[in-house]
Amino acid sequence: MASDTYGNQWYQPVAGLSNVGSYQVSAIPWVTGSLSVPGVSAEPMHISFPQVTRFIVVKNDSSSTSKLRVGFSRNGIKGTNYFVLSKGESFEGSLRVTDVYLLSDNGTPVAAHVIAGLTGIDRTNLPNNWSGSSGIG
């Protein structure tokens, strides 16, 4: 910790989950498009972010009536802890996560894209992506 010539210590904030400034600055853009999300019997598509997110946007780009499951753990999306986007629907949320899981709600692959705003917080600060928390899976 830094100090002045009289030995008084100064507080130096660090990027972290509880550091408000980490969420107030403009986010680092992260985008992926043209995803082909597998059907419900396959393994979910796992999107892993290099840092903790400030926000995420997920859109079902399907031209059919296929629905897209969105979750935050493999067990959650294969179980009951996920939400569904219909054709053309999107979700935007101010969420601090490191991983998103996508899966078609039936056997047909679904087109989708994901946009995220990243913080300066390294993903190791959120090692389990809330997995195992109530309502997440």
Q: pLDDT (tens digit, 0 to 9) for every residue of the chain, 137 residues total?
A: 555 566 667 667 778 898 899 999 999 999 998 999 999 999 999 999 999 999 999 999 998 899 999 999 998 999 889 999 999 999 999 999 999 999 999 989 999 999 999 999 999 999 888 776 667 76
Instruction: Return the domain boundaries, the chain.
Output: 31-125
Give pLDDT, residue 107: 87
Q: What Rg, from alpha-carbon coordinates, does the chain have?
A: 18
Give pLDDT, residue 130: 74
Give pLDDT, residue 132: 63
Give 3's strand partners.
9
Evaluate whether 28 touches 111 at the Cβ level (below 8 Å).
no
Sign, Cα dihedral of 23, 29, 34, 35? negative
* Architecture of the domain delimited by 31-125: Sandwich (2.60)
